[in-house]
Amino acid sequence: MADATALDSTADIKNIVVRYLEAVATGPAADIAALYAPDATVEDPVGSEPHRGA
């Protein structure tokens, strides 16, 4: 069964990337975090201990 929150098209993916880049350039960290799944992980810098969502 497909996840209802999954991205459905190339246009969806491009939209998220644009929103991410805009948030990184001008928004607060909360705007960036809102683009991630609740259980996402981020390694920044790459190879460091992952930051984990809920």
What is the value of pTM for the model shown? 0.64
Could you tell me the residue range of the domain that residue 18 belongs to?
10-52
- Active-site residue identified among 3, 8, 39, 44: 44
Is 3 a domain residue? no
Q: Are 53 and 37 in contact (CB under 8 A)?
A: yes
**CA 35 – CA 7 distance, rounded (Å):** 12
Q: How many domains does the chain have?
A: 1
- Quick check: is 44 catalytic? yes
- Active-site residue identified among 3, 8, 20, 39: 20
Res 4 pLDDT > 70? no
Is 1 a domain residue? no
- Quick check: is 31 catalytic? no
Tens of pLDDT, residue by residue over 26-49, are 989 899 888 888 889 999 899 999
Quick one: three-class SS letters along 1-54? CCCCCCCCCHHHHHHHHHHHHHHHHHCCHHHHHCCCCCCCEECCCCCCCCEECC
Is 48 a domain residue? yes
Is 22 a domain residue? yes
